[in-house]
Chains A and B, each alone.
Chain A
Amino acid sequence: MDHLSDLESRSIYIIREAYHQFQKVAALWSIGKDSTTLLWLIRKAFFGKMPFPVVHIDTSYKFKEIYKFRDEYTKKWDLDLIVHRNEDAISSGMGPKKSKLECCTELKTNALKGAIDKYGFRALYLGIRRDEHGIRAKERVFSPRDQDFEWDYKNQPPELWDQYKSKTEAEEHIRVHPLLGWTELDIWKYIKKENIPVVGLYFAKNGRRYRSIGCEPCVNTIPSDADTVDKVIEELKTTTISERSGRAQDKESDYMMQKLRALGYM
């Protein structure tokens, strides 16, 4: 088996394991390349039809291309889409200009809390990968969050041989990470192999492209001429710039990502 088939089989195994164990689950879809790949794998695991909803946490600051892509593929893939926003915070003017930590916490983390409260999900699938950030490198495949959404990263349960923990009463929900072992390059090679559609923002226009997408005010482009999937793959083989270098929340202060994640950030 080649490397991509091996990754695919492992991810599908995890996806099916979590669904068997938790039933009341949902997948978080940011419409970025990773969570779109995750949806692709979930659709494969269930032979084309996702048996649970997809949740988009909408901060209202996303690119218009993201909304357009979301609506197009919700229809094409026959997804049960839930769009959830922290309307109170949005209408009271919360935005990145106030404070980035506060904005991410209100519009992403607290919005997600709202969605979980409302729908009662026991587990959520997320498309995070270990190579994105040093903190994410320490994640487990099944990762519990407590009532306050906190990640007790100092006391994670052992995980052996694809045997994962189940959820206790005290735990708010379990985060399930089927893509943890994939790299950015693996994702793009798989996108090419499977012909997975991705938002056009990833491809270069006028010498710049987005390597990582999210809220429009908080991500930046990188200089690039990669305007096709093949060229993106070639670029990534030689680049010396890290993937999330264009993202504000990774840089603001040394431990911002740890703080955000401890608070329940994705």
Chain B
Amino acid sequence: MEDGNTLKFVIVGHIDHGKSTLIGRLFFDTNSLPPDKIEEVKKASKGRRDGEMEFAFLMDHLREEREQGITIDTAQTFFKTPKREYVIIDAPGHVEFVKNMITGASQAEAALLIVDAKEGVAEQTRRHANLVSMLGLDQVIVVINKMDAVDYKQGRYDKIRSDVKEFFDTIALKADYYIPISALKGDNVATRSDLMKWYEGPTVLGSLDSLANRVPPEDKSLLFPIQDVYKISGKRIAVGRVEAGTIESGIEVKILPGGEKTEVKSIEKFQEEKDKAVAGESIGIMTEDPVFLQRGNVLCIEGKEPTITNSFQANVIWLSKEAFDIKERIMMRLATQEFAGNVIKIKRRIDSSSLSILEEDASTIGNLEIGEVEIQVKAPVVLTKFNNIQELGRFVLVRGNDVVAGGIIT
């Protein structure tokens, strides 16, 4: 097996459409389960349904989850195919736990959306798809589950597929595959189903193996947000993670938002000689001149600066039961920058599932609603549009000490 090839994907969809069962099936069919784990789950499954093994228990570990048969929080587990290793991020399908779903999805490289063949597109199917699109996940597999409950009929598959596609078109999301499966029986999960000969596409495992790893934006121009500055045996080292491009010793960099220039004297990593670091690497640097660097500064190359601005447009998804009020001054964090700001306009307030416009020119944003907003801040911030460089195009809103919303710069 190749190193460096682990793929993280999130399983999303409406409650009871079979996410946890599909995960259990994936583990089982890839022999990723230790015997003692199977024993534990079998034991815990006793006295439930027909004494059949509850695949869902493999992910649902909290007592409340097993007793109520729902997933409360997102979990991550690992399995492998002959091609590579996977991290599965399981996301709860209940509306109550969307903040846990989005936590899981924000860490994924791809999404697998599960839809119940009988029930069809439901409230969280749409909301999750919409959030997946908003988070910028562009590799999406749709699985149409419980085909066993609709007699493996192609007509039902075609209907659901066209419903999903219709919704995806409204949110500019494109699915790579639509796969008819039965997670419970194992059809088209690891092996092709004899009961759906009309389907010619890949199995779930086959489709996963065809996905690409997301790589940090190495080919873009340098963006290096300063995380902290350490004084170590008389040396001043500015540390951080390269978010885009490449940094090299000897190059001239511009320090944003101020605009001073300096030369990178050295790239610092403990017990390593380095003269270059690429996107994704956590490093330190020393500068040629005694310039003042602090957390929140962003280093870039002159002529290839990101945006420096006091106001910007964004879509925010509100994740707290206490609604946002336009009068509230709120803290925001974008990469390593932290600043207070005001939402000066809520152009539209949108239902994140139905996508219907709840209000134009609104003054609040409620739980699970999306606000199209204009934000104003006192000191300039350094940012890009989300579809340019995600790492500097997204931010969180913080109330008290908790993250209460995610924002995408448009």
- Which residues of A approach B to under 8 Å, CB–CB? 1-6, 8-10, 12-13, 16-17, 19-20, 43-49, 130-131, 133-135, 137-138, 140, 153-154, 156-161, 163-168, 171, 181, 183, 189, 239-242, 245, 254-255, 258
Contact = CB atoms under 8 A, between A and B. Distances in A.
A35 B230 CA distance: 24
A165 B284 contact: no
Given A134-B59, A181-B76, A254 B40 contact: yes
B280 to A, nearest CB: 5
B268 A47 contact: yes
Given A47-B230, A138-B73, A154 B333 contact: no
Nearest to B76: A130
B401 A166 contact: yes
Nearest to A158: B99
A16 B406 contact: no
B78 A131 contact: yes
B332 to A, nearest CB: 10
Contacts of B230: 46-47
Nearest to B242: A9
B61 A13 contact: no
Interface in B21-53: 34-37, 40, 43-44
B172 interface: no
A39 B19 CA distance: 37
Contacts of B36: 241-242, 245
A134 B61 CA distance: 6
B86 to A, nearest CB: 11
B99 A5 contact: no
Interface stretch (B3-11, B110-118, B304-312): B3-11
B106 A161 contact: yes
A170 to B, nearest CB: 10
A163 B396 contact: yes
B232 A46 contact: yes
Nearest to A240: B34
A32 to B, nearest CB: 20
Instruction: Identify the 5 closest CB pairs spanning chains A and B, nearest first.
Output: A134-B61, A2-B4, A137-B75, A242-B34, A12-B282
Contacts of B106: 159-161
A159 B74 CA distance: 11
B282 A9 contact: yes
Given A16-B282, A165-B403, A239-B34, 15 more contacts: A1-B216, A12-B282, A19-B228, A20-B295, A45-B239, A45-B282, A46-B232, A47-B270, A134-B61, A134-B75, A156-B100, A160-B403, A163-B333, A241-B35, A258-B62
A153 B237 contact: no
B280 A6 contact: yes
B278 interface: yes
Contacts of A134: 58-59, 61, 75
Chain B, interface SS category:
mixed
A138 B319 contact: no
A157 B232 contact: no
B194 interface: no
B401 A165 contact: yes
Contact of A135 (B62, B87, B241): B62
A65 B3 CA distance: 33
A258 B76 contact: no
Interface in B93-122: 99-100, 102-103, 106
A131 B33 CA distance: 12
Interface string B285-327: 0000000000100000000000000000000000100000000
Contact of A160 (B63, B75, B271, B396): B396
B72 interface: yes
B403 to A, nearest CB: 5
B234 interface: no
Nearest to A159: B103
Contacts of B43: 254
A158 B103 contact: yes
Contacts of A168: 400-401
B270 A44 contact: yes
B244 to A, nearest CB: 14
B281 interface: yes
9 contacts: A1-B278, A9-B241, A16-B239, A130-B77, A137-B76, A156-B100, A157-B99, A157-B402, A164-B403
B49 to A, nearest CB: 17
Nearest to B406: A160
Nearest to B241: A13
A135 B6 CA distance: 22
Contacts of B76: 130, 137, 181
B61 A258 contact: yes
A51 to B, nearest CB: 8
A225 to B, nearest CB: 19
A3 B241 CA distance: 16
B64 interface: yes
Interface string B377-410: 0000000000000010011101011111010000
A5 B281 contact: yes
B133 interface: no
